[in-house]
Amino acid sequence: MLLKSFGVIVLLGMTLYLCISFSVFERRRMAQSEGFLLLVRHIKAQIACFRLPLGEIFHTFAHAELERCGFLPTLREGRDFAAALQAAAPAIWLSAEESGLLRAFAGELGRSYREEQVACCEYYAGELEQAYAQRRRDHPTRAKLYRSLFVTGALMLIIILV
Q: Average pLDDT per run of 10 along the chain, which is 162 residues long? A: 90 96 95 98 96 92 96 94 95 96 96 94 98 96 94 93 82
Q: What is the pLDDT of residue 28?
A: 96
Q: What is the pLDDT of residue 1?
A: 80
Q: What is the pLDDT of residue 162?
A: 80
Provide the domain count of the chain. Answer: 1
Among left, alpha and beta (phi > 0; psi -120 to 50; other), residue 118 is: alpha
pTM of the model: 0.92
Structural domain for 121, as ranges: 2-161
Give the DSSP per-residue string, the chain. -HHHHHHHHHHHHHHHHHHHHHHHHHHHHHHHHHHHHHHHHHHHHHHHHH---HHHHHHT---HHHHHTTHHHHHHTT--HHHHHHHTGGG----HHHHHHHHHHHHHTTSS-HHHHHHHHHHHHHHHHHHHHHHHHHHHHHHHHHHHHHHHHHHHHHHHH-
